[in-house]
Structure 1
Amino acid sequence: MRLRRCGTDAVLVEVDSTGEVEAVRAAVRAADPPEVVEVVPAARTVLVAARPGGLPAVLRLLGTVDLAHRVDVPSRQVVIPVVYDGPDLELVAATAGVTADEVVRLHAAATYSVAFCGFAPGFAYLVGLPPPLRQPRLDSPRTKVPAGAVGVAGEYTAAYPRSTPGGWRLIGRTDAPLFDPTGDVPALLAPGDRVRFEAVG
């Protein structure tokens, strides 16, 4: 774990894996220190922002984090319905050496965790993808991926909250309200949430 100061009241924690990111995020959330105002996980970092003068307490807390052990903290369970008819379903199946039906079974049987959010509002990077489905992005990204598209890329799976360019391999689509800027909580998913995909249609 490497700590880098960010201004006067924040620290960027650098680690080596999404599992270690989750260990840091969960430990800070479980401790719930009054000095912490925001915790922002990313692929290999966690930004912890403190109230003015609260950084020393945050640094002491981070010094107690065991990266090999994830503290259990309460998490929401979210089920997202998916129609598995994506344009890259057969490509994912061929790359994995399985049938398209098996891709659907593998993807829908897993339980995922939101590692972090980014790229676009409401876009959540989910970890827990079965190994056969961990595949590279497309050689040529699409200029337009439709809102609701469900895809895989590397160790992650995700659903696109709005139409954007993208290079993920698309295996399905969902009508779930992934991002509503008028809502009290605009994004459906947040770091730490547990997610399952349910095959429908």
Structure 2
Amino acid sequence: MFNLPETHFHFGGDEYIYGEISRDMRIESNFKALAVTNELRRRELSGIIDIVSANSSYLVRYNPDMISARDLLDCLKEIDLTKSDPRKLHVSVRIIEIPAWYDDPVSRECSYRFRNRHPEPELSNFDFVMKVNNFTDKEAFIEYHSGTPYFITMVGFLPGTAWHFPLGQEPSEVLKAPKYHSPRTETPERGIGLGGAFNVIYPVSGPGSYQLIGRAAVPVFDPKRQLADLKETSFLARPGDIWKYRAVNESQYHQITSEVEAGAYRFKIKKMIFSPLEYIEKGKRYIQELMEGF
């Protein structure tokens, strides 16, 4: 029976324990990081200050005056062991649609403005990503990118930034792109970036080094909580969510942004249970079954 990767634990000073599941990015490692950290939150142990899951690891901050490092480590090892069998894991997820205007003029202008920091300054970011992934047809690239569901593996950096990794693809099928030689000092809000195998949507204007391939029509960070789907929290992303892009044209993009500004936009969201075991066993076929009707 397939088990999830073994975790290696490290102490970080007197207040942190770091659980390293794998050093390379493996979606199976992320399943385990989510399962362990969710269970640890559920237990509400006295002395735990913060719990953060990452792409293939997790970090726990604790108060050593309230819980000893060894007691916490024993607890983590016990939880970690129970979350190593994919047969026992079921992740509650939300599939969320992200309308996206690919190769939009704002992203293109930004890529040319910082061309002196780029590996190929004569190309826009969008054209560069097409080139390094052997695409010659723009529509084919857009269909490929928007046809892939992405799993939210980690949230951090700027408020609401969500790293999302493609599901149901072999390593040779994954879109990849090198980052800028030196980060941009500015990135447009809601810019869609690709760096390595990870996608992000920049929640606010700020620095960044991922290649810009388009712009989301919807916010992923709403500090005023004006939208009905963001009333409980300002952030759209939750680790374990699945985002699915939908390509829109210019007029559709502006129609959606108008709805957002009026506070009337509703996200297309579907809640379901994700089975890591079925994903490991069936791969792309399981993802296709999961996305049916969405």
For the criterion TM > 0.5, the same-fold answer is yes
- Corresponding residue of 1:62: 80
Unmatched segments (≥5 aa) in structure 2? 1-6, 109-124, 226-231, 250-294
- Corresponding residue of 1:92: 129
Q: TM-score, normalised by structure 1?
A: 0.85
- Corresponding residue of 2:33: 24
- Report if aligned partners of 1:30, 1:73 keep a CA contact under 8 Å in 2: no
Task: Tell me whether 1:47 sits opposite 2:59 in the alignment.
Answer: yes
How far, CA to CA, are the matches of 1:32 and 1:69 in structure 2? 21
Spell out the pairing of 1:66-85 with structure 2 (5 A cutoff).
66=84, 71-85=89-103
- Corresponding residue of 1:119: 157
How far, CA to CA, are the matches of 1:50 and 1:69 in structure 2? 30
Deviations 1:33-66 (A, max 9, x none): 4245653112342024579447243332123332
- Corresponding residue of 2:259: none
Alignment length (residue pairs): 201
**Between the two proteins, what is the percent identity of the paired residues?**
26
Task: Tell me whether 1:14 sits opposite 2:62 in the alignment.
Answer: no
How far, CA to CA, are the matches of 1:160 and 1:76 in structure 2? 20
Unmatched segments (≥5 aa) in structure 1? none
Alpha-carbon offset, residue 135 of structure 1: 1.3
Could you list the runs of 4 or more consecutive aligned residues of structure 1 that deviate by over 6 angstroms after TM superposition? 67-70
* Distance change >3 Å, CA 75–CA 29, structure 1 → 2: same
- Report if aligned partners of 1:35, 1:57 keep a CA contact under 8 Å in 2: no
Alpha-carbon offset, residue 31 of structure 1: 7.7
Aligned residue for 2:77, secondary structure, equals helix
* Distance change >3 Å, CA 34–CA 50, structure 1 → 2: farther
Amino acid at match of 1:2: H
How far, CA to CA, are the matches of 1:28 and 1:44 in structure 2? 12
How far, CA to CA, are the matches of 2:36 and 2:163 in structure 1? 20
* Distance change >3 Å, CA 60–CA 22, structure 1 → 2: same
Structure whose residues are more often strand by fraction: 1
* Distance change >3 Å, CA 31–CA 23, structure 1 → 2: same
Amino acid at match of 1:59: K
- Corresponding residue of 2:246: 198
How far, CA to CA, are the matches of 1:74 and 1:30 in structure 2? 13
* Distance change >3 Å, CA 105–CA 69, structure 1 → 2: farther
Q: CA RMSD in A?
A: 2.7
Q: TM-score, normalised by structure 2?
A: 0.60
Q: Aligned match of 1:102 in 137, 140, 148?
A: 140
How far, CA to CA, are the matches of 1:156 and 1:69 in structure 2? 27
- Report if aligned partners of 1:50, 1:58 keep a CA contact under 8 Å in 2: no
Aligned residue for 1:144, secondary structure, equals coil
Alpha-carbon offset, residue 122 of structure 1: 0.6
- Report if aligned partners of 1:35, 1:58 keep a CA contact under 8 Å in 2: no
How far, CA to CA, are the matches of 2:53 and 2:92 in structure 1? 17
* Distance change >3 Å, CA 121–CA 31, structure 1 → 2: closer
